[in-house]
Amino acid sequence: YTLPIAQARLAYKASVGAMELPRAQVARVHDFAIPGPAGSMQARLWADSHEPGLPVLLYLHGGGFVIGDIDTCEAMCRNVAKQSGAAVVAVNYRLAPEHKYPAGLQDAWAAFQWLAEHGHTQGLDGSRLAVSGDSAGGTLSASVALLARDAGIPLALQALIYPSVQTRSATESFKAFSRDTLLSAELMAWFEAQTRGDALPHAWHREPLHAPDHAGVAPAWIGLAECDALTDEGHHYAQKLRDAGVPVEVRQWPGVIHDFINMGRFMPEAAELHAELAAQLKKAFQA
């Protein structure tokens, strides 16, 4: 948060590259474009099979809506594709401050709709869709799941990895783990300052915890880190979904910090989460 935006993006990409697990070899890697509300978006598909009609996970990278891209989630997407048998598609949605929120959500939603309607052009089964993301990508995923419900588009699973789902109150985990950690209060404030644009059409587009109704949204799996400012938000969102009758599973990894999924060279828990997400996808797509 002390760096210029361009340097911050390069620094994050370099740090992920140094810490991520080795990238699994998969049978298919394909770059293509998805039309979005502000022009075409770069997309990348990973699959360990050339079979047609694969179910597909739309993965939305983290980075506070400011940093991160397809490359910073590639190791995880490859691992999940390898282990799940599903195709994984990630997109470079628009980032702040050049594009204030909800530009990123508009792009994520456009990508989801395109996969549902045109995924067959990439050999995918648009009727078997899941959405997932970490941190800011978890926020986007939760909001996309709500939009999918409202649009009547089937969604097999929303897999939220330490999502940010509200900004109105300081939770106990925020108080405990927002100092001298990777996701500090200063960094979160910087992300939010870059991201906030004009008044959102609906506040819940940034804070899905405060959506007026969660009934009928897709089943959820939520993966959390114990030593993370956002841990309580994940639990609060899980409870909000349960209260609305939505099936929810939560797994919290003890002793790890925010962004641990990208630290597989040092933290075995990263590989555990990748494997758990793959297993959840298999189960959801078989249902």
71 catalytic? Reply is: no
Determine whether 258 is an active site residue.
yes
DSSP annotation of 275 reads: H
Burial class (CB in 10 A: 0-12, 13-18, 19+), 144: buried
Q: Which residues fall within 8 angstroms of residue 240, CB to CB, at 6 or more apart?
A: 209, 214
Q: How far apart (Å, rounded) are the C-alpha atoms in residues 243 and 49?
A: 39
Q: Which residue has the tokens 């962004």?
A: 259
* Annotation says 202 is catalytic: no
Q: How far is Cα of residue 199 from the mean position of the Cα atoms in its chain?
A: 23
Radius of gyration of the chain (CA): 17
* Phi-psi sector, 5: left (phi>0), alpha (psi -120 to 50), beta: alpha
SS3 21: coil
Q: For strand 28-36 and strand 39-47, is the pairing parallel, antiparallel, or unpaired?
A: antiparallel
- Mapped onto helix, strand or coil, the DSSP state of residue 11 is helix
Phi, psi of 43 (to 5 degrees): -130, 155
* Identified catalytic residue from 61, 205, 214, 258: 258
CB 73 within 8 A of CB 59: yes
Catalytic residue, chosen from 228, 232, 259, 274, is: 228
- Give CA–CA dist 147/48, Å, rounded: 29
Q: Which listed residue (84, 132, 135, 178) is catalytic?
A: 135
User: What single-letter DSSP state applies at residue 102?
Assistant: T
Which residues are annotated as catalytic? 135, 228, 258
